[in-house]
Amino acid sequence: MLGMLSQSMLNLIDAALVGHLGEVALAGVGVGGYAMFMLSAVVFGLSSSVQAQTAHRVGASHGCLTQPLQSGLVIGLAVALPLSLWAWWQAPLLVGLINQADAVQDVAVNYFRWRVLSLVAVALTLCFRGYWNGRQQTYFYLRIIVAVHLLNVVTSAGLIYGLAGLPEMGPSGAGVGTTLSLFVGLLVWGCVSLNRASMQHFLTRLPGFASLRTTLTLSAPHSIQQLLFAAGYAVLFWLLSQLGTASVAVGHVLINLSLLLILPGVGVGVAVMSLVGEALGRDAQQEAHRWGLDALRVAWLLLLILALPMLIAPEHVLGIFFSSRDLIALGTLPLQLTGVMIVLDAAALVLAQALMGAGAQRTVMLLTLGTQWLLFLPLAWWVGVGLEHGLLGIWLMQLFYRLINSLGFLWVWQRRRWLAPAF
């Protein structure tokens, strides 16, 4: 949970450091960050695929544990390297799909080009994270990601403002600092993994076709889900851009805060993914079902505690990012709605991960994308832009969508059709 909470700090650190440069700089970093989020979604399924397979092998007590990791690394490198080069070349096109304001685009393109160079590091890190989470040794992830973020803060601050003799790069410095820290983290992941006894023969055994196919089959639905989910956020940013730069800047902070604060719930879900996979590997179906509900109770309590500052003192929370009273006033009620959202989102966050532990990635993809693209985005456009209810109207529709999404995952979990073998 601590590691997942720390992960979303990447974008929030950049937002906090750049926020004092003005709303154009903040909006540009927000747009560039979501363009990077969309690209990263293409390889995100590798983590759940490697983790689910590893956990199942641990429970079944047979098979080479490192084989899913090897397959994930091969697929990750093959996909991420050409994709990052293409995205760097087509940065103006990708950023232009999200925001058309010239001043914001200039900042966003430069920031995005620095960030997209780290796509290979992101893909391979996801594979290492999935492997060690699948073995229920999650402390590796926590230690490494915290060190990466500390390095990110120091490096980005130095490059944004030209501290300690570093060049003053403005918003682009945030992208450089984040990319450098991610590659350092990847190097640490590789060293730690290769030094473990179970990894001694890792480099001498290449993954077979069957292993590559299984890893790709399990990762593809999750990657498609994450890509279209991220594209949905790009559409959301486009909707906000129709309301003005102020709405883009406030929306950027609200979304990043929600992504940060739901991550303890995702962390609980990542844990239960391994526990469900391990239980199914032992053919303990009733235990697997109980893990999902027990984890959901924990997540609800955690998310309720984290939402309290947003509900009780929204102005103080927004004051961390904005000095303008107008921007704070614009974001106050939507921030309180965001606090309610993250509590309602608990079932979707936990049970989606639990279902992927059982190999039901396709079910998760269909439910997540169906509620987002067929329910939320049309309603957000109609209420926020068409009926001119603005940022508040869009956030009310998002609250409704999160409720329906969580109820859907509860229904799927209780039906238990996911208990059919997937490995």
Measure the CA–CA gap between 327 and 325, rounded to whole angstroms: 5
Q: What pLDDT was estimated at residue 198? A: 57
Of 371, 349, 363, nearest to 417 by C-alpha is 363
62 vs 308, higher pLDDT: 308
State the pLDDT at residue 358. Answer: 86
pTM of full prediction above 0.75:
yes
- Tokens describing residue 120: 């290979």
pLDDT digits (tens, 9 = 90+) for 332-372: 999 999 999 999 999 999 999 999 888 888 899 999 999 99
> Between residues 11 and 177, which one has the greater pLDDT?
177
Which pLDDT tens digit goes with each residue over 379-403? 999 999 999 898 999 999 999 999 9
Highest-scoring range by mean pLDDT, 139-153, 216-230, 280-294: 280-294
Give the closest residue to 303 by CA, choosing from 337, 344, 336: 344
* Mean pLDDT estimate for the chain: 86
Q: Give pLDDT, residue 309.
A: 92
Total domains in the fold of the chain: 1
Whether 178 and 17 have beta carbons less than 8 Å apart is answered as no
Non-local (6+) Cβ contacts of 211 within 8 A are 67, 68, 70, 71
Q: What is the pLDDT of residues 33-61, one digit of tens each?
A: 878 888 888 998 899 889 888 888 888 76
Q: How many CB atoms lie within 10 A of CB 200?
A: 11
- Which tens digit of pLDDT belongs to each residue from 289-331? 999 999 999 999 999 998 999 999 999 988 888 878 888 999 9
- pLDDT of 199 > 70? The answer is no
> pLDDT digit string (tens) for 95-136?
887 776 778 888 889 999 999 999 999 999 999 999 998 888
Domain hosting 390: range is 2-419
- With beta carbons less than 8 A apart as the criterion, state whether 178 and 156 touch: yes
pLDDT at 4: 66
What was the pLDDT predicted at 6? Answer: 63
Residue 325, Cβ density class (10 Å: 0-12 exposed, 13-18 middle, ≥19 buried): exposed
